Amino acid sequence: MAVVGCTGCGGALGGMATVKVEVIIPEPVWAQKGAPISHLLLYPGGDGKIKSLYLPVGVRRAVIEVQRGFNVPVLSYPMGRLTPAGGIVVARTLRLRYRYGPPAKVLQELWDFSERCETVCVEALASEMEKEGEGDPWRCDIDKIKGALVRGRLNRLYVRSRKLYSLSIELPAETWISGNLFFNGTVEAVSGEGESPDSAASEEGYSLVKFSGLYPGGHCFFSPEGGLELHIYVDKKGGCRWICDSLGSFSLHEAKSIEALRPAISQRY
């Protein structure tokens, strides 16, 4: 199944350079666990440039003025850094969904090539990324998809998943919840050499926690018991860096700084 050249996959609202759209954002998984969640909306404005709109904690509706056209992508990043929900403007009301986050991100990052973006069948791309990522579309190599789209060659052969790695970190012995709704890896406390699983936690309340199913890129985890946030960055060779701090210590626009995290030892599959 090709994911380009399909008719009826995008939408256009005619008659003016911009159109006002009410955006409805789904509840993030961390909010269900008590985390205070703000949002950062990103969308193409009337001048073709990507605009942003900050929504404070508890606000999940907004009216934005977007560029008129086909396959106009809108993204909402919980806390400005978690994996976004996305959608394509086809009417005056747009309900974002997390399954459309990856394809909307592809289109938005290539919006300078909007004539290419208009050819993409978003539904087909979303389905293919879900299939190839085995339920987690963010596992797919987005750079490969973007490269194929720019060259006008996007099809299912360029939708490929990335290798998985694991990482063990000494952390507070608490629950850790991924900020990615589709993350299907595992998080578990592991015992040290000569220890039983019940003795994995140290006297200081820390234990060795193993994160499996990590792929290259950034991963965020939340501990509702301690109000802690963990960022893990995995490079293309499986090397990992991580940082753990209180939820409030990470600013809204922290997503880009994760590459500067301190090194940590990673374990490969």
Give the H or E element holding residue 195. Answer: none
Average pLDDT in the chain: 84
DSSP 70: S
Three-state DSSP state, 187: strand
Residues above pLDDT 70, as percent of the chain: 81
Please give the pLDDT value at position 173: 65
Burial class from Cβ neighbours inside 10 Å (0-12, 13-18, 19+) for residue 186 reads: exposed
Q: How confident is the model at residue 175 (pLDDT cuts 50, 70, 90)?
A: confident
pTM confidence score: 0.83
Residues above pLDDT 90, as percent of the chain: 62
Tens digits of residue pLDDT in 85-131: 999 999 999 999 999 999 999 999 999 888 888 889 999 999 999 99
Statement: residue 200 has pLDDT above 50: no
d(CA 136, CA 219): 13
Mean pLDDT value across residues 203-212 = 83
Statement: residue 11 has pLDDT above 70: no
Please give the pLDDT value at position 17: 86
| Higher-pLDDT residue of 63, 33 | 63
Please give the pLDDT value at position 152: 86
Statement: residue 220 has pLDDT above 60: yes
CA distances from 131 to 4, 193, 234 (A): 17, 38, 22
Statement: residue 68 has pLDDT above 50: yes
Please give the pLDDT value at position 202: 52
Please give the pLDDT value at position 9: 44
Please give the pLDDT value at position 4: 37
Contact 37, 30 (CB under 8 A): yes
Statement: residue 5 has pLDDT above 50: no
Q: Which of 29-33, 52-56, 199-203, 256-260 has the lowest mean pLDDT?
A: 256-260
d(CA 98, CA 83): 8
Mean pLDDT value across residues 241-247 = 90
Statement: residue 216 has pLDDT above 90: yes
DSSP states of 197-227 as a string?
A: GGG-S-TTSEEEEEEEEE-SEEEEEEETTTT
For the chain, domain boundaries: 18-158, 165-268
Statement: residue 37 has pLDDT above 90: yes
d(CA 111, CA 104): 10
Q: Which of 9-13, 54-58, 140-144, 185-189 has the lowest mean pLDDT?
A: 9-13
